[in-house]
Each structure stands twice: as structure tokens, then as C-alpha cells.
């Protein structure tokens, strides 16, 4: 069965060229022009890979916002961002979300190779993950079915909010990336719109998480703060 690649690009000519190149290589292609259309289209089922233009219509960060939304639902979704704003991409790309990017104008042959590479990488990653709800990162073990966390074999008991923060920091495809305060706040608040969560609330809970890990390992230092931006779980 062919892989499904979605292209979210508001320029109709560019979108057509990308789609035709990928169809020529055997992919099923879904073409969309806006963040709203893509959000509705993939509300229940994601494509195998998505190509996002960063600027969508009047939304200067439409692609970024869509990528963050989709990764919240589908953490393993491969994303390729398209941009002509190379001067700003490194900082924002690295701090906001995981993924890869290409700068415009796009070489179509390179695009098809990039898609092929990302899909193969995803297949290798999936083959190493026996369960999406259980994973290990160095000494960390997370069992989301049981809401259980271990460090070096010892259980670390976390509150619901602390556990939500830990998940946001340690999703395997994002380990090593800085997770912004806004994303951490969304993760903590969940669907409870009445919960008031601010940066200082995140800081307090991160402090408590560190303390609990240090109770089982005094040398624990895997959570790194990036002032005014957020936190990251240091990759081994």
C-alpha cells in the first residue's frame, strides 16, 4: 500500500509541482491550502508524512502552529517544513517543535529523496518500539499504561501534573529539543480550561520533579532550563 503524504501549501503552483513529483514516485498525495483545512482533515487520522509551508495565507506561523497541533495528537508524525525565512529558522525550528526543514526554492528531486529518507527513518523507529505506551531513554523507563515512571530501576512517584510534564519532555522523537513554556502549559492543563497555569507553575513542578528523581539518584541532572523559553530533557 502506498504511503500517504500530505502537502499544506497555499501557493497553488508550488503545491501542484510538489504533488506531481511525489505521485510520480508512487505516493498517495493529499493537497491542502490552509492550516484550518489540514487541522480538520487530520483531526482523526494523520497521513504518513506531512509537508508544511511555514507561512500559510495571512498566518505567518501557520505551519508551525499546525505542526505543533498535530504533534500533540500524533507525536511520531514525520514533518518537513518549507521556508524562505532561513535567517529565523534555526532558533525557532529548534526550540518550538521537532521535524526537518527545506528552504525555498525547493529542488523537486531533493524533496522526493527527503520524503523517502524520513519515511524510512520512521519505519526504523517503529520497528524498535514494541509499544507506543512504553519506552526507555537511558535510565528512564515510562509505562504510560500504568502511569509509572522508573529511574535506574527505582520507581519515581509523580503527581498527575508532574507526570504530564515529564511526558512532554521525554517523548522519544523530541528528546534533546527545547519544549517551550506554552507547550508545557498546554500539556499540564489538558482539557481543563479552568486550570490557570503560568510559567512559574511549570517552574515549580519541574523543581519538584528534579527533587523526586534526586531522591533515587543524587546525581540526576537530565532536565535543562533554557531561560524564558522552556526546558529540555538532555539526550544521552
Q: Where are the domains of the chain?
A: 4-127, 134-233
Dihedral, 148, 151, 157, 158 alpha carbons, nearest 10: -80
What CATH number matches the domain at 134-233, 1.10.10.10, 3.30.43.10, 3.40.50.720, 3.50.50.60?
Answer: 1.10.10.10
Q: Does domain 4-127 have CATH number 3.40.50.150?
A: no
pTM of the model: 0.55
Among 78-87, 147-156, 186-195, the minimum mean pLDDT is found in: 186-195
What pLDDT, in 10s, does the model give residues 62-75?
A: 888 898 888 888 87
pLDDT at residue 172 tops 60: yes
Among 41-55, 66-80, 122-136, 197-211, the minimum mean pLDDT is found in: 122-136
Same fold? 4-127, 134-233: no
Per-residue pLDDT averaged across 195-210, rounded? 82
Amino acid at each position: 500500500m502506498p504511503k500517504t503524504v500530505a502537502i499544506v501549501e497555499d501557493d497553488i503552483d508550488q503545491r501542484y509541482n510538489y504533488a506531481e513529483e511525489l505521485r510520480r514516485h508512487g505516493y498517495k498525495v493529499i493537497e491542502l491550502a490552509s492550516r484550518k483545512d489540514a487541522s480538520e482533515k487530520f483531526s482523526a487520522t494523520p497521513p504518513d508524512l506531512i509537508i508544511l509551508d511555514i507561512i500559510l495565507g495571512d498566518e505567518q506561523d501557520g505551519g508551525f502552529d499546525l505542526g505543533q497541533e498535530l504533534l500533540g495528537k500524533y507525536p511520531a508524525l514525520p514533518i518537513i517544513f518549507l521556508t524562505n525565512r532561513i535567517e529565523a529558522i534555526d532558533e525557532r525550528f529548534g526550540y518550538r517543535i521537532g521535524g526537518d526543514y527545506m528552504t525555498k526554492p525547493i529542488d523537486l528531486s531533493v524533496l522526493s529523496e527527503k520524503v523517502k529518507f524520513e519515511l524510512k527513518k520512521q519505519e526504523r523507529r517503529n520497528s524498535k518500539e514494541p509499544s507506543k505506551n512504553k519506552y526507555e531513554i537511558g535510565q528512564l523507563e515510562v509505562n504510560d499504561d500504568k502511569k509509572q515512571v522508573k529511574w535506574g530501576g527505582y520507581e519515581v512517584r509523580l503527581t498527575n501534573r508532574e507526570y504530564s510534564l515529564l511526558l512532554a519532555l521525554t517523548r522519544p522523537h523530541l528528546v534533546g529539543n527545547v519544549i517551550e513554556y506554552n507547550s508545557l502549559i498546554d500539556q499540564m492543563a489538558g482539557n481543563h480550561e479552568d486550570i490557570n497555569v503560568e510559567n512559574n507553575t511549570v517552574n515549580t513542578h519541574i523543581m519538584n520533579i528534579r527533587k523526586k528523581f534526586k531522591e533515587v539518584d543524587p546525581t540526576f541532572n537530565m532536565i535543562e532550563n533554557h531561560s524564558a523559553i522552556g526546558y529540555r530533557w538532555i539526550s544521552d
